[in-house]
Amino acid sequence: MRGVLDQTQWEDGRVTAGPQAAQVKRNLQLTEEHPVAQQLGEIVLKALGRNETFLSAALPHKVFPPLFNCYTGGGQFGMHVDTAVRDVRTKGLRVRTDLSGTLFLSAPEEYDGGELVMEDTYGAHAAKLPAGDLVLYPSTSLHKVNAVTRGARIASIFWVQSLVREDSQRTLLFEMDSALQKLNKTSADHASLVQLTGVYHNLLRRWAEL
């Protein structure tokens, strides 16, 4: 993917930003219609579909086609909240942005700065992950990308409309599913495992929106 992106002509990232975000966004990007974005986006989507942790945490209903961006030469994205609903122009549908994802495609040692900083009730959290690692966080979070002062920070970004809209409900289901998976490895024949699995699915049935 990096080999392809390193030979691609980038565009001004403000094209896809809302009015407020455009004032603080300074990066390069490929739009969803760009053939390279579509080609590489399919690779990302297939990888997400194989990742059990992502599926358990996000409970995806719709995924906005992955975009690709590049921060270099002081590029940054000031504090903002992602747009609540995004139009998928290539498919004529809308995606409510419950979760935001950043897939890092540059190794941390390739650039200085560029941390993804997210704020929540407990303060600010910075992420600068190895190439191939993904951070998934609520789209309601205030977040920013620090200025890149050396090298280039290349990443793929996307948004998820979850089956479960509420963050707290989705977190409970993720924690329960994680515990069930561990129990299934050590106590697969325990009668309580069947009961707890039923509780998980009944909660999902109660909270899911289709």
| Strands 67-72 and 152-162, bridge-based pairing | antiparallel
Write the secondary structure of 76-89 as one string of H (helix), E (strand) and C (coil). Answer: EEEEECCCCEEEEC
Contact indicator for 76, 27 with CB cutoff of 8 Å? yes
Residue ranges for the known binding site for 2-oxoglutarate are 153
Which positions ≥6 away from 35 have C-beta within 8 Å? none
Q: How far is CA 94 from CA 18, 59, 121, 172, 180, in A?
A: 16, 17, 29, 26, 33
Residue owning tokens 């920070």: 153
Q: How far is CA 59 from CA 24, 43, 63, 163, 164, in A?
A: 31, 19, 11, 6, 7
CA 173 – CA 59 distance, rounded (Å) = 9
Q: Where are the alpha helices (DSSP H) in the chain?
A: 2-5, 19-22, 35-50, 52-58, 167-186, 191-207
Residue ranges for the known binding site are 80, 82, 143, 153
Residue ranges for the known binding site for Fe cation are 80, 82, 143
